[in-house]
């Protein structure tokens, strides 16, 4: 295969990866347009009864938020301690890293280069570490959730656990393929299958997480969160 043909293939792969990333962004965008109107009405009807144990129209919580804002002295850039949870600041890294890892792994099935395998391995390891930290150390406690929000949270946590397990297994398989099996095509295919599962899990965990925040109202300004600590 000539150099010009290899460059042509690489350009096609880069274009394909860009299109896949764009499609994933559209599919898992945090808009929730189909359910937003009904779910927002449902959440707002139950917010007063479930938020911090406050009845009525939530004025007590609003007063707490206002006092907190006054204590920030009009800071433009918040410090880490100002956030009710560090989970949103951490969780986006494994989402991006694991999605990139599976794309690079799929590319390796067509472009069999050791350098590309190294990039995939590094992305995968970082994605696994990020997923583990996001799920184990900075995942906030919740309280007073509506029944619907509790069910969504359960699904979110389930897919998050799948993500940690599948990405961890993917790291082990990738290490074995890269260092022991010399990147045999059947070994790389097994790794790709596992990483596709990890990418699906992290995308579904992100979808349910966005649903909790943007539709059910869990998290903004500390609503429904135990804010004494940042994590478990």
Whole-number pLDDT of residue 80: 80
Which pLDDT score, from 0 to 100, does residue 170 have?
A: 98
pLDDT at 169 over 90: yes
Rounded to two decimals, what is the model's pTM?
Answer: 0.68
pLDDT computed for residue 2 by the predictor:
63
**pLDDT of amino acid 32:** 43
Instruction: Using alpha carbons only, give the angle 168, 160, 174 rounded to the nearest 5 degrees.
Output: 20
Residue 225 backbone dihedrals phi, psi, to 5 degrees = -110, 145
Q: Which residue has the higher pLDDT, 21 or 55?
A: 21
Lowest mean pLDDT among 59-68, 73-82, 172-181: 59-68
Handedness of CA 20, 170, 194, 8 (dihedral sign): positive
d(CA 7, CA 4): 5
More confident residue, 140 or 48: 140
Per residue in 74-97, pLDDT (tens digit) is: 678 888 888 888 888 899 999 999
Is 105:120 a contact under the CB 8 Å cutoff? yes
């Amino acid at each position: 295969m000539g150099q010009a043909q290899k460059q042509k293939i690489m350009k096609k792969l880069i274009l394909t990866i860009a299109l896949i990333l764009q499609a994933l962004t559209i599919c898992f965008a945090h808009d929730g347009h189909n359910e937003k109107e009904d779910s927002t009405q449902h959440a707002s009807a139950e917010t007063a009864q479930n938020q911090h144990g406050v009845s009525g129209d939530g004025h007590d919580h609003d007063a707490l938020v206002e006092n907190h804002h006054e204590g920030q002295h009009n800071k433009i850039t918040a410090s880490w301690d100002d956030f009710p949870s560090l989970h949103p600041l951490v969780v986006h890294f494994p989402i991006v890293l694991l999605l990139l890892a599976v794309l690079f792994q799929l590319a390796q099935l067509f472009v069999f280069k050791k350098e590309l395998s190294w990039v995939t391995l590094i992305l995968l390891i970082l994605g696994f570490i990020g997923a583990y930290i996001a799920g184990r150390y900075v995942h906030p406690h919740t309280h007073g959730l509506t029944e619907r929000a509790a069910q969504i949270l359960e699904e979110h946590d389930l897919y998050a656990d799948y993500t940690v397990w599948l990405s961890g297994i993917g790291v082990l398989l990738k290490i074995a393929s890269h260092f022991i099996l010399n990147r045999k095509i059947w070994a790389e295919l097994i790794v790709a299958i596992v990483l596709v599962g990890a990418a699906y899990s992290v995308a579904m965990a992100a979808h349910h997480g966005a649903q909790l925040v943007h539709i059910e109202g869990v998290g903004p300004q500390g609503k429904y969160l135990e804010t004494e600590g940042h994590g478990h």
